[in-house]
């Protein structure tokens, strides 16, 4: 038996649309991260970019369970002593709902250069239901609020 390693000619990239309405943030991020990496394909190779493009719509309607809406905060630091800032998820969801999903998906990906390239190029997040990617004919990816199909 030989280990399969995908070549650039073996890879194809599909488009998926995920509706975030009523879906838990962690479940959504986990499913989107797997689609971006290409782990659902039989041609998955860790060092190749074989993942799919994902368009997430209705990012403002994502669900946070428990007390996360009041207690969850995002940390950032400027590099200067004492210049740390904590942004509550409630504020970020009100101003930039796309960043909440991008940060959650980034946390689910491995921390390497290829993953950052995948996230930058393959994840498109929109607050409303309209998106400019109709020409790519994306397939709807059904995510039920209770289960994540993989």
Own/partner long-range contacts of 118-122 (Cβ < 8 Å, ≥24 apart): 118/36, 118/37, 118/49, 118/51, 119/36, 122/13, 122/36, 122/51, 122/52, 122/53, 122/54
Assess contact for 33 and 111: CB atoms under 8 A: no
Per-residue pLDDT tens digits for 116-134: 998 999 999 999 999 999 9
Among candidates 106, 31, 93, 33, which has minimal Cα distance to 63? 93
Can you list the domains of the chain with their CATH numbers?
Answer: 14-140 (3.90.1180.10)
Own/partner long-range contacts of 128-133 (Cβ < 8 Å, ≥24 apart): 128/57, 128/58, 128/60, 129/19, 129/57, 129/58, 130/57, 131/17, 131/55, 131/57, 133/15, 133/17, 133/53, 133/55
Q: Is 123 strand, coil or helix?
A: strand
Residue 150 confidence (pLDDT) above 50: no
Q: Structure pTM?
A: 0.89
Per-residue pLDDT tens digits for 29-76: 999 999 999 999 999 999 999 999 999 999 999 999 999 999 999 999
Assess contact for 101 and 108: CB atoms under 8 A: no
């Amino acid at each position: 038996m030989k280990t399969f390693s995908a070549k650039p000619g073996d890879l194809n990239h599909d488009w998926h649309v995920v509706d975030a309405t009523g879906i838990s943030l962690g479940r959504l991020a986990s499913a989107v991260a797997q689609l971006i990496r290409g782990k659902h394909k039989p041609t998955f190779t860790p060092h190749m970019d074989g993942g799919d493009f994902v368009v997430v719509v209705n990012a403002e309607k994502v669900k946070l369970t428990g007390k996360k809406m009041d207690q969850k905060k995002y940390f950032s630091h400027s590099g200067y002593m004492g210049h740390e800032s904590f942004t509550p998820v409630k504020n970020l969801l009100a101003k930039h709902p796309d960043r909440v999903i991008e940060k959650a998906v980034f946390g689910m990906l491995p921390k390497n250069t290829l993953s950052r390239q995948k996230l930058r190029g393959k994840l498109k997040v929109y607050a409303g239901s309209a998106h400019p990617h109709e020409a790519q004919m994306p397939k709807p990816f059904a995510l039920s609020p209770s289960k994540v199909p993989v």
